[in-house]
Amino acid sequence: MSMIDARLQVDFPDYTLDVDLVLPGRGVTGVFGASGAGKSTLLRAIAGLERPKNSRIVIRNKVWQDDAQGTFIPTHRRALGFVFQDAALFPHLTVAQNIRYGLQRTPPEQQKIPLDYLVDLLGIGHLAERQPESLSGGEAQRVGIARALATSPRLLLMDEPLASLDRKRKMEIIPYLNRLNENLDIPILYVSHALDEIVRLADHLVLLEDGRAIASDSAGKLLTRLDLPLAHEADAAAVINGLITGRDEHFLLNTVTFEGGTITLPGPASTPGKKIRLRIQANDVSLTLQHATDTSILNILESRVIGLEETAPGLVMVALDANGARLLCRLTARSASTLALERGKRVYAQIKAAAIVD
């Protein structure tokens, strides 16, 4: 699989971005960090909007910059799409005209995504003749994404695309972003300082801090590493990727099979075999030493403690391995002491079905 290779350095008077990254050539790579960590600068450098030095940027076997060889492809010649916080639609053009605008710099032989297919994926067909001023924030952003993708780019860069939306609008647009990931063979670099967005979208994760990449790995691994700040966040969570494998129509419950076993969760019927990503917050996991039978909890996973760390006064975060799947559990120091938790100890992780978010 073609990769994304970005070795670059960008100097500012009081700040330097210096990273050396090899990232997957497909799926969503989330770039996470505090304000000023270098997230947006990283995207701008890859796009050629900032000129890094002593750098090499290769996107799926296409060299965009290699200072050792004297190569620098200007932004307008890089096959990329860029989506910012503001959709920046042309106000004098309709939705359909805005989307087609992106095709003007793309030769017909390079147009690989049919516009009708793209419009359907993003659910914006009914907006075609509307003017941008009549769109909601979420609708405008979906149109902006369609315009960026209409050029069939080798890479899609998204810089805080949901930051200007309220929570309701964010939840409306995230499923469409997941559909893009599932249906298009275009890698996405997604910048955000919102952990809940990263958890819902990212397959791979880069954690930036003060201009340095302090970690880069699968999202499932980085989210549950106790030596990283992600597991210390108030909304710390683990992600589990699985498949819908069963349905209880009487109680309206779906069965999800994953590498660590099965999980039951409420919801509408879904197609068997459908891929699903589950977000399980550390606050929604409790631990027992014995497999409980007289409990309302539907999901009980045999697990092994792989790490413990005090993340706040009187609170302990526990990292768990459930037969290959990673989980987090936040509990009081007293509970950790009562259970005599230690690395390697077998426990049972209890997860409320109603608390699991897909």
So what's the pLDDT on residue 211? 94
Could you list the pLDDT tens digit for every one of the 358 residues in the chain?
A: 468 999 999 998 888 999 999 999 999 999 999 888 999 999 999 999 999 989 999 999 999 999 999 999 999 999 999 999 988 899 999 999 999 987 777 777 777 888 899 999 999 999 999 999 999 999 999 999 999 999 889 999 999 999 988 888 898 899 999 989 888 999 999 999 888 888 889 999 999 999 999 999 999 999 999 999 999 988 899 999 999 999 999 999 999 999 889 999 998 988 899 889 999 999 999 999 999 989 999 999 999 999 999 988 999 999 999 999 999 999 999 999 999 999 999 999 999 988 887 7
* Cβ atoms of 228 and 326 closer than 8 Å: no
Q: Considering only CA atoms, give the Rg of the chain.
A: 22
So what's the pLDDT on residue 2? 65
Tokens 């075999």 -> residue: 273
Query: Helices 167-183 and 137-149 sit at what angle, rounded to 10 degrees?
Result: 20
Residues 6+ apart with CB under 8 A from 79: 59, 62, 110, 151, 152, 153, 154, 155
So what's the pLDDT on residue 13? 85
Instruction: Reduce the DSSP state of residue 282 to 3 states and report it.
Output: helix
Beta strand pairing call for 4-12 and 15-23: antiparallel
Domains of the chain, start order: 4-218 (3.40.50.300), 237-355 (2.40.50.100)
Largest CA distance in the chain: 69
Strand partners of residue 205: 30, 217
So what's the pLDDT on residue 1? 47
Q: What distance in Å separates the CA atoms of residue 312 and residue 46, rounded to the nearest whole number?
A: 37
Q: What distance in Å separates the CA atoms of residue 195 and residue 217, rounded to the nearest whole number?
A: 16
Sequence-ordered alpha helix ranges (H) in 50-123: 95-101, 115-121
